[in-house]
Amino acid sequence: MGVVLVDAGGTNIGSVRYALQRLGVDAALTADADAIRAADKVILPGVGAAAPGMARLRELGLVELMRSLTQPVLGVCLGMQLLCEHSEEGDTACLGLIPASVRRFTDQPNLRVPHMGWNRLKPRRQHALLKGLKDGDWAYFVHSYAVANGDHALATTDYGGEFACVIARGNFHGMQFHPERSASVGARLLKNFLEL
């Protein structure tokens, strides 16, 4: 069936879809379990808060389906956070697919929250998702909560401390930044996902 975007209510769905179209992929937007299960690649976009995001997946009956997928899955922004075990945002139990927690940035002098704007990426280990990514490449972020660094981190970013900005475990992958707004770097990483 190709690539599907899970219609979980994220406000960045249109821009992610357009970024995929620029790569020659017309991704179907769906909340249909059969269509998601049949897809070659699944993307879970999301902008907003963890609790409403998980509530939407529960309302659609997609929580267990998302957990059972065996094809490559990519979570973008909030979608990446929902792949993790728990978010401090609303004390929310998430999908539990990546053994990591999501925490709010700590208040520090001269550190604005949300983290909004361009920041540098630092690859931590080799992975097909990072093909062509160089240390110090820039990506565009908008978030107040971040995934803690750990074995799941493929790349990190520093904003008042290091956090995981690209993660993977098995067939589940995530990007905290917005690849659809991250110019050539974002396009390259989306293309890498499509080639997994």
Q: Active-site residue numbers? A: 77, 178, 180
d(CA 92, CA 86): 6
What are 187's two structure tokens? Answer: 């396009």
User: What residues are paired with 117 via a beta bridge?
Assistant: 141
Contacts of 2 (CB under 8 A, 6+ apart): 25, 26, 27, 28, 39, 40, 41
Mapping DSSP to helix (H, G, I), strand (E, B) and coil, where does residue 184 land? helix
d(CA 55, CA 95): 11
